[in-house]
Amino acid sequence: MRRSLIATALAALVLAAPVAAGVPRRGVLDPGRSLGGIRLGEAPRAVRATLGSFYGLCRGCASRTWYFTVRPFDEHGIAVEFVRGRVSAVYTLWQPAGWHDTRGLTLGAPAEEVEARKLPLLTVTCTGYTALVADAPHARTAYFLFDDRLWGFGLFLPGTVPCR
């Protein structure tokens, strides 16, 4: 009897796993490491395991790009770009509520909070917005500013221009 309860519980967990995948409601940027649980260099199957299989495809992007949204047909979410079958960039779409970095910086924060960080930040001017980037050996972390507010996060391969 006990063995069948354990087997039933394990089966429920296995069946529930695909449902648990999806865009995090409160995603986290770990600068230089991951965004929303996605790391640079991951294969598409690892992205689907983390975010699920419900995504849109960008039809004019320079590289294969998947858009995962918080709800179907909502513009808030996360984009994942691939080059040679591996994640080359991951960034937020619009300004998903509740997203923050590991130091507590939340999307929507005033630009001064980002600029006050003790990180060496390089300013990159994009069309309509600014990206403050912090370079690490294996990744470039971007803090996107729009209208004097933190609008989004991004993680890119080193040296990549974060403007999209």
Task: Give the three-class secondary structure for 17.
Answer: helix
pLDDT at 14: 34
pLDDT at 22: 83
Q: Which CATH superfamily is domain 22-156 in?
A: CAP (3.40.33.10)
The label of the residue with tokens 């993680």 reads: 155
pLDDT at 151: 96
The segments of the chain whose pLDDT lies below 50 read 1-19
pTM: 0.85
Q: Fill in the DSSP letter of residue 159.
A: T
pLDDT at 64: 97
What one-letter code names the amino acid at 115?
Answer: E
pLDDT at 96: 94
